[in-house]
Amino acid sequence: MKKVGIIIDKYHLEYKVTDFLKYLNSKAEVKLYIEESFLVDSSNLKFDEDIFFVKGKGDLILGLVKFIEEETSIPVINSYKGCWLAINRFLNSVYLKEAGIPIPDFTLNPKGILPHFKEFIIKNIIDQKIYKFKPIVKRENGHLQVADERALLEVDTKDPRYNYLYYQKFIKSKWEYKIYGIGDKVYYYKQLPILVNSNKMESRHQIDEIPELKEYCYKAMEIMDLKLTSLDFLKSKGQFYLTDINCTPNFNYIKNGPKIVADFLLEQAKN
Parse the chain into domains and list their residue ranges: 3-77, 88-102+173-253, 106-169
**Positions of the chain with pLDDT under 50:** none
Q: What is the DSSP string of 232-265?
A: EEEEETTEEEEEEEESS--GGGSTTHHHHHHHHH
Q: Do domains 3-77 and 88-102+173-253 have the same CATH topology?
A: no
pLDDT number for residue 107: 97
pLDDT number for residue 179: 98
Domain 88-102+173-253 belongs to what topology?
D-amino Acid Aminotransferase; Chain A, domain 1 (3.30.470)
Exposed/middle/buried for residue 40 (C-beta within 10 Å: 0-12, 13-18, 19+):
exposed
At what angle are helices 89-98 and 80-87 packed, to 10 degrees? Answer: 100
pLDDT number for residue 132: 77
Is residue 237 left, alpha or beta, with left meaning phi > 0 and alpha meaning psi from -120 to 50? left
pLDDT number for residue 153: 86
Q: What is the DSSP string of 104-133?
A: --EEEEETT---SSSSEEEE-SB--S----
pLDDT number for residue 188: 98
Q: What is the DSSP string of 153-219?
A: HTTSSSS-S-SEEEEEE----S-EEEEEEETTEEEEEEE--TTT-S-HHHH-EE----HHHHHHHHH
Model pTM?
Answer: 0.95
Domain 3-77 belongs to what topology?
Rossmann fold (3.40.50)
pLDDT number for residue 162: 83
Helix (H, G, I), strand (E, B) or coil at 36: helix
pLDDT number for residue 45: 73
What tens digit of pLDDT does each residue of 151-169 get? 998 888 778 888 899 999 9
Residue 78: asked if its preceding bond is cis (omega within 30°), the reply is yes
**Residue pair 240/177 in contact by the 8 Å Cβ criterion:** yes
| Distance from C-alpha of 18 to C-alpha of 12, rounded to nearest angstrom | 9
